Structure 1
């Protein structure tokens, strides 16, 4: 076996075992054949010093993701994981859209544009943007709403492009502010940005081979989410100072803990609710990572004792519900058939 073949087989280890067992030799042979030049000296040099190209490695990685995040015709386990990732992505984008829409509504309310609502109390102070760049950032954040609608309606590439309008300016702003601002470096902006970037990339899981998104429930979830979460919370925070201890990472922990508890209580068949159970486990992991990553910033605040105590309670709540749910979900996952051999090899150059 030449070194080139060894290197390519090493790259193919990214693929699922069942698929690799069936098609590894054919894929290696096809790859080595494409590198044949007809010149013995050149072929010998490539056999010792050649490497898979970056495009080939990226193609194998893409294939590995597609096989593990299965579409509608995928084997049971990849399909369950695929549905779980897609549900988690849709939920994450929904939450961003809910907060963006609620933020826009509250801004209009503070400006007096919603005259049919009660006037805001003195607790609510509208701080105008300090610059045109800040105003642009505020507007860019609203892009999560059309991104969510595009994703639900089946236009994934459009959704990613629109979501990038919200993420990219924020990334630039965080980098510039953290590098040149007078305040010390903080973790929270980077953690929030990382979550948004991960969400932007993960939207690729909602691909054309996946089962179609059930549009009606997700479209109904947007106004229900706005009425059920951010608007009551913001109004309560205006009159109950104690609720201001609940920051964005804390809110994510509370929401995912409640959702997991409902899933555990209401689920009578773990196999039927498996995609949602796995999706909630993924969301819980993201919420925990965000909560833990932002703990150093809490220690620098005036109310650090109360905030740290609240954050610890949020972590305990997510773990207390998330661990049992993960156990139930992975037990159900093991009851599904393993990944069978594919019927035909997938091209890695697509």
Structure 2
């Protein structure tokens, strides 16, 4: 076996074992044939020192995503994981869209544009941006709203491109600030990492995935605004103590509440199609718990670090208390599903 073949087979390990057992040799033979230049010396050199191209690796990665996060024609276990990844991505995108949409209304209120609402307290006054570039930079976060709508409507690549506009500016801003006089902080980088993972997770909406039910997910946007950010902002504005709850803490509370509701529905109705939701909420619980744990490091320099650390610990414990039983239930149900298809699909070029 040549070094080139070894390297290619190493990349093929990204594919499911059952798929490799069926198609690996054929894929290797086709790849080696494509690397044959017709010149014996050049071919010998490529065989010893060549590597799969980035486009070839990207093609295999895309195929692995489609197989492991399968669509309707995938094995039940792959389909369950695929639906879980898609549901988790939609819920996270919905959260971003809800919060940025509500923040538009809050910004208008704080700037005095909504005359029929009572005037905000002085400590809530907005600080005007220094220039038009700062304004444009701040508006980049609102890109999550059109990205969510594009994803629901089935335009995954558009959604990824638009969401990238919401990820890059905060990353640059954080890097510039922390390269200057701003103290090093874990929180912005942890939240950016979650956003990058969310951006990559949109790959689960490949062409083989079932379409997103548009009506419920579009209706979830206005309903979510009325149920979450509006009451939350009102409570925080009138109860100063609740201002200590940061974004990771709010995420913990939201995910915990969602898991409790899901477990209640699962036990009461015993619906057979709840496994993808169980897995999706488990994925969100893991991400939320990781975010909460990472951001604890920033509390050491806070004046109320003991109180903040206690609140954060309670939030993490709540996620674990509900998330662990849900994960156990989901994994047990997942193991009962077959993981190998009756007939492995032929390799296809990713689109």
Partners in 2 of 1:133 and 1:289 — Cα distance? 33
Partners in 1 of 2:334 and 2:266 — Cα distance? 15
In the TM superposition, 1:214-253 aligns within 5 A as 214-253=213-252
Helix, strand or coil: the match of 2:301? coil
Partners in 1 of 2:66 and 2:188 — Cα distance? 31
1:52 matched residue in structure 2: 52
Report the RMSD for the aligned CA atoms in angstroms.
Answer: 1.7
Q: Return the TM-score normalized by structure 2.
A: 0.94
Helix, strand or coil: the match of 1:136? helix
1:10 matched residue in structure 2: 10
Partners in 2 of 1:223 and 1:211 — Cα distance? 24
- Of 194-203 and 336-345, deviating more is 336-345
Partners in 1 of 2:32 and 2:243 — Cα distance? 62
In the TM superposition, 1:88-127 aligns within 5 A as 88-127=88-127
The alpha-carbon distance between structure 1 residues 110 and 49, as it changes in their structure 2 partners (threshold 3 A), is closer
1:43 matched residue in structure 2: 43
Partners in 2 of 1:270 and 1:13 — Cα distance? 36
Deviation at 1:206, TM superposition (A): 1.7
1:275 matched residue in structure 2: 276
Please say if residues 63 and 350 of structure 2, whose CA atoms lie closer than 8 Å, have aligned partners that are also in contact: no
Deviation at 1:349, TM superposition (A): 7.0
Partners in 2 of 1:35 and 1:349 — Cα distance? 20
| Correspondence 1:21 to 2:21 | yes
Deviation at 1:58, TM superposition (A): 2.0
Q: Could you list the per-position Cα deviations for residues 137-176 of structure 1 after superposition, in whole angstroms to 9, with x for gaps in the alignment?
A: 2211112111111111112222222222222212211111
Deviation at 1:348, TM superposition (A): 5.1
The alpha-carbon distance between structure 1 residues 341 and 44, as it changes in their structure 2 partners (threshold 3 A), is farther
Deviation at 1:65, TM superposition (A): 1.2
Q: Could you tell me which runs of 5 or more consecutive residues in structure 1 were left unpaired when the two chains were aligned.
A: none
Deviation at 1:343, TM superposition (A): 4.0
Helix, strand or coil: the match of 2:72? coil
1:314 matched residue in structure 2: 315
Please say if residues 66 and 206 of structure 2, whose CA atoms lie closer than 8 Å, have aligned partners that are also in contact: no
2:66 matched residue in structure 1: 66
Partners in 1 of 2:111 and 2:220 — Cα distance? 27
1:186 matched residue in structure 2: 185
Q: Return the TM-score normalized by structure 1.
A: 0.94
The count of corresponding residues between Structure 1 and Structure 2 is 349
The alpha-carbon distance between structure 1 residues 342 and 57, as it changes in their structure 2 partners (threshold 3 A), is farther
| Correspondence 1:340 to 2:341 | yes
Partners in 1 of 2:68 and 2:216 — Cα distance? 26
- Of 139-148 and 90-99, deviating more is 139-148
| Correspondence 1:323 to 2:347 | no
Helix, strand or coil: the match of 1:127? coil
Q: Could you list the per-position Cα deviations for residues 110-156 of structure 1 after superposition, in whole angstroms to 9, with x for gaps in the alignment?
A: 22222233332345322222443332222111121111111111122
Please say if residues 56 and 348 of structure 1, whose CA atoms lie closer than 8 Å, have aligned partners that are also in contact: no
1:151 matched residue in structure 2: 151
